[in-house]
Amino acid sequence: MNQDQVIERLKSGNERFISNKLNGEMQNDQRRSELTGGQSPWAIVLSCADSRVVPEITFDTGLGELFVLRVAGNIANTDTIASIEYAVAHLGTEVIVVMGHESCGAVGAALAGGDNGYNLNHLLAQIAPAKAQAGSDDVNVVVKKNAELSAKDLYNRSSIIKGAVDNSKLKIVTAFYNLGSGKVDFL
C-alpha cells in the first residue's frame, strides 16, 4: 500500500467501527503464527493512553498491522520518538498518525495547572506549548493543537523521521478521536 492507501484503509476501518461492522480479521492463532517470524506494520499510531481510545479497534485492524505507542497526552517524548524511529528505520512503516481525543484528561490537567507531583508535572510540561499556542482554554482545541505540535516534534527531533519525510518515504498526519461516536477526524 502507498501512503494514501494506508490512510484510506484507516478511514474505512474507522467507518466499520462506528457502524458496528468490525470484521475482526487477522486476530486468531493463524495470524499469531504468521507473525512469529517478524512484523511489517503498515501504520504507526501515537495515541493517548486513555482506556477509551484503542487504535487497533478504532481502525478495525488485526495483529501486526499497527505499531501503536500510547502515552497520556499522545506526547512525542524521547521514548516514543525512539520507538517510532525503530518502526520507520527497521520495519519500513510509511505513515504516522498522531491521534488526540475528545476530553483528554492529560490536556485537561495541563490546562488546570497545579502541582501533580514530579512525574505527572514532567509529562504535563510537554503539553504546555499546545496550551500556549492554542489561543483557547477549550480542552478539545488544545488537544488538536497538541497533536499538531507532537507531529512537528517527531519531525524536528528525529533525523530518521525527518529524512524519511523529506524523501517522501514517510507521511505524518494528525487526527482527533470523538469519544461518543468513535469517529476519527483526520486533521
Is residue 165 within 8 Å of residue 38, measured between CB atoms?
Answer: no
> Which residue from 85, 102, 90, 55 is spatially nearest to 172, judged by alpha carbons?
85
Tens-level pLDDT at each residue, the chain (187 residues): 999 999 999 999 999 999 999 988 887 888 988 889 999 999 999 999 999 999 999 999 999 999 999 999 999 999 999 999 999 999 999 999 999 999 999 999 999 999 999 999 999 999 999 999 999 999 999 999 999 999 999 999 999 999 999 999 999 999 999 999 999 999 9
* CA distances to 43, 70, 115, 117 from 56, in Å: 11, 12, 34, 32
The per-residue pLDDT for 77 is 96
CB 27 within 8 A of CB 63: yes
User: How many Cα atoms sit within 13 Å of 17 on the Cβ side?
Assistant: 24
Distance in angstroms between the alpha carbons of the first and the last residue of the chain:
21
Do 84 and 154 meet the contact criterion of CB atoms below 8 Å apart?
yes
Nearest to 45 by CA among 157, 176, 160: 176
Region 3-186: CATH code: 3.40.1050.10
pLDDT reported for residue 28: 81
Please report, for the chain, the start and end positions of each structural domain, with discontinuous segments joined by +: 3-186
Q: Model pTM?
A: 0.95
Q: Residue 171: what pLDDT?
A: 98
